[in-house]
């Protein structure tokens, strides 16, 4: 049986993100994944006109997806981490903390929704 952990959040974004390019969003996500000891295996990003960015990091354990909404001063984040061969819940939780610190000044636990999936 494979178990997975799905975290999602809509976070108010720090003003520094307004100066970032799409590559900056990718680097923040990759660094967060590395710090949480997850395995980055791919990446893609897109800058919308006139504004906004979507970025996805593909992980050996699943993915991190981000959408930056500058007109709302928000970022939406979806994290899905599988437990294939080991329990990765602590890594996923640590990743939510890191990402919250990078993008927002809010209290991280109050903004993340968690769903555990077994199958």
Task: List residues with catalytic annotation.
Answer: 62, 67, 82
Contact partners, residue 31, CB within 8 Å, separation at least 6: none
- Report how far apart, in Å, the C-alpha atoms of 88 and of each of 36, 42, 50, 71, 111 are: 10, 19, 38, 34, 20
Q: Which of 114, 118, 108 is nearest to 4 (CA)?
A: 118
Q: Is 24 helix (H, G, I), strand (E, B) or coil?
A: helix
Q: Is 1 helix (H, G, I), strand (E, B) or coil?
A: coil
Sign of CA dihedral 27, 33, 35, 40: negative
């Amino acid at each position: 049986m494979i178990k997975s952990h799905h975290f999602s959040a809509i976070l108010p974004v720090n003003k520094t993100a307004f100066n970032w390019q799409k590559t900056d969003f990718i680097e923040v996500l990759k660094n967060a994944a590395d710090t949480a000891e997850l395995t980055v295996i791919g990446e893609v990003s897109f800058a919308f006109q006139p504004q906004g960015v979507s970025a996805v990091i593909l992980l050996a354990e699943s993915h991190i997806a981000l959408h930056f909404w500058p007109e709302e001063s928000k970022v939406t984040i979806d994290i899905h981490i599988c437990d294939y061969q080991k329990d990765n819940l602590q890594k996923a939780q640590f990743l939510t903390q890191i990402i919250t610190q990078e993008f927002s000044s809010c209290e991280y636990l109050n903004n993340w929704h968690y769903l555990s999936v077994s199958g």
